[in-house]
Amino acid sequence: MRTEQQGKRERTRARIAENALELFERQGFERTTVAQVAAAAGVTEMTVFRHFSSKEQLLFDDPYDPVIAAAVGDQPRAWSPLARAVGGLRQAWAQLPEPEGDTVRRRVRIVAENDSLRAAAWRNNAETERLIVERLVHDGTDPLRARAAAGAVLAALMAALFEWARHDDHTLSEAVTVALDTLDENHG
Amino acid sequence: MRTEQQGKRERTRARIAENALELFERQGFERTTVAQVAAAAGVTEMTVFRHFSSKEQLLFDDPYDPVIAAAVGDQPRAWSPLARAVGGLRQAWAQLPEPEGDTVRRRVRIVAENDSLRAAAWRNNAETERLIVERLVHDGTDPLRARAAAGAVLAALMAALFEWARHDDHTLSEAVTVALDTLDENHG
DNA sequence: CTTCTCATGTTAGCCACTAACATTCTGTCC
DNA sequence: GGACAGAATGTTAGTGGCTAACATGAGAAG
């Protein structure tokens, strides 16, 4: 069966990601070398890069969903671009489950504390942003307004993620809700 | 006089930045090597890095102003965090002159077309964002809301910059106004 | 058992970036 | 004008992220 080889691949990938996370927590992202991650996972540097396109991607496993763009499109076309984007995010978020375990939180925490990684997160969002903009423009929104709305909403989302990772006093959903409400006076 | 040495330093710096911009336009950012930039400027690779902390910084000369944070603080404390941030940006922007020459536009154009550089622009904004957040939190705003508002406003600002660089049909001020209005229904 | 495939290893190299030390150039002070 | 101090640049020798080309080894399939 092909399943066994795929299983092996997935296990290797997971092992690399786990070891990377631990090392990053212990010594910091920048002071950790890809060679160290590889060694800790019992693997070659080359293999790390075959599973993760860059060192940063060791922290950005999570697939960022195009579900969001669709949800934005679902909002009433009479609403302002910002209201549609906020509404879309709220709707998309309601469908996603609260993350299990603490892996996500540990990853986000590391990202939140490093300017370069925060920036890298934006590169990771680029595709989502494009999809939202595309959706809004398709429905007649001015491109500039569409980009502004999409960027603003993603900025709020990232603020929520980072703040949630830093403190233990909110669930992720709560943080996202508060952040989005800040952009949308009707609810805040 | 010390002025002559400083003048020399500035001239070298300017020469490097100019040559870099031309090369980036001709061959693209990633396909241009720092060694090429150095050679074009009649200088060593080492010298390039003494003037610019990284290859990216060759495009981010412009000092991002803490004026913005102060302007945010000037807005009525009764307003919502988002309204204060938007108002602050509007006020700060009104003080700054429309950029002369086409250098700024050419730089932004290159940044706008490259995901990595767009991300790098966020790292460049990190300090501004921190200052805005600090200002809002100091005035009693919840940290999460402060971060969301600051991020949203900067996202809108960047959308304006990128859209302005791409097309010739707006002035920068107009683009910024439209982008900020998108976050602020009172004006949009 | 052989053959094909896919994960992994090996080697060699590019490029951004840094550190340590050497050089040249500028302005100053006598 | 000549010795000196300091700043700008050059040289050399790395480290670390990342890629390309080819080699090996272990499972699946006939």
Residue pLDDT, tens place only, B75-88: 999 999 999 999 99
Residue B5 (CA) to nucleotide C25 (C1'), in angstroms, measures: 10
Mean pLDDT computed over A75-79: 97
> Domain residue spans in chain B?
2-52, 67-183
Using a 7 Å cut-off to protein CB atoms, list the covered nucleotides of chain C: 6-11, 15-20, 26-28
Report which of residues 12-71 in chain B place their beta carbon less than 7 angstroms from any atom of strand D: 12, 42-44, 46-47, 50-51
| pLDDT over 50 (residue B175) | yes
CATH number for the domain running over A67-183 = 1.10.357.10
Q: Residue A84 and residue A88: Cα distance in Å, rounded?
A: 6
Residue that is written with structure tokens 């879309």 in the block: A88
pLDDT per position as a tens digit, A137-159: 999 999 999 999 999 999 999 99
Count of CB pairs separated by less than 8 Å, A with B: 120
How big is the CA angle at A101 (ends A168 and A174), to the nearest 5 degrees? 40
CA–CA distance, B135 with B125 (Å, rounded to integer): 16
Q: What is the pLDDT of residue A5?
A: 63
Which tens digits make up the pLDDT trace of A121-142? 999 999 999 999 999 999 999 9
Confidence band (pLDDT; 50, 70, 90) for A8? Answer: confident
Closest CA to B146 of B83, B62, B64: B83
A81 vs B148, B175, B182: nearest CB? B182
**CA dihedral of B55, B56, B59, B64, whole degrees rounded to 10:** -130
- Enter the tokens of residue B106: 């050419």
All residues of chain A having their beta carbon less than 8 Å from the beta carbon of residue B154 are: 155
Q: Residue A83 CA to C16 C1' — how many Å?
A: 42
- The answer to whether B14 CB sits below 7 Å from nucleic acid chain C is no
Q: Which residue of A has its CA nearest to B185?
A: A80
The per-residue pLDDT for range A172-183, each reduced to its tens digit, is: 999 999 999 999
Q: How far apart are CA B145 and CA A33, in angstroms?
A: 36
DSSP secondary structure letters along B55-105: SGGGS--SPPPTHHHHHHHHS-TTS-HHHHHHHHHHHHHHHSPPPPSSHHH
Phi, psi dihedral angles at A3 (to 5 degrees): -60, -35
pLDDT at A188 (0 to 100): 36
Interchain contact A90–B (C-beta under 8 A): no
Query: Which of A8-12, A100-104, B123-127, B178-182 tops mean pLDDT?
Result: B178-182
pLDDT at residue A61, rounded to an integer: 81
pLDDT exceeds 50 at position A7: yes
B182 interface with A at CB cutoff 8 Å: yes
**What homologous superfamily is domain B2-52 in, according to CATH?**
Homeodomain-like (1.10.10.60)
What was the pLDDT predicted at A17? 97
Query: Taking all residues of chain A, what is their mean pLDDT, rounded to a whole number?
Result: 92
Task: Report d(CA A102, CA A168) in Å as an integer.
Answer: 11
Q: Residue A101: is its pLDDT beyond 90?
A: no
Q: Which CATH architecture best describes the domain A2-53?
A: Orthogonal Bundle (1.10)
For residue A65, pLDDT beyond 90: no
pLDDT of residue B19: 98
Q: What is the pLDDT of residue B6?
A: 66
pLDDT of residue A64: 65
Stretch A113-123: mean pLDDT:
94
* CB-based contact, A116 to chain B, within 8 Å: yes
Nearest residue by alpha-carbon distance to C1' of C28 = B1
Q: Do B67-183 and B2-52 fall under one CATH topology?
A: no
Position A77 pLDDT exceeds 90: yes
Q: Which residues of B touch A145 (CB under 8 A)?
A: 178-179, 182
Residue B87 CA to residue B81 CA, distance in Å, equals 10
DSSP per position, A67-114? HHHHHHHHS-TTS-HHHHHHHHHHHHHHHSPPPPSSHHHHHHHHHHT-
| Chain B residues lying within 8 Å of A111, measured CB to CB | none
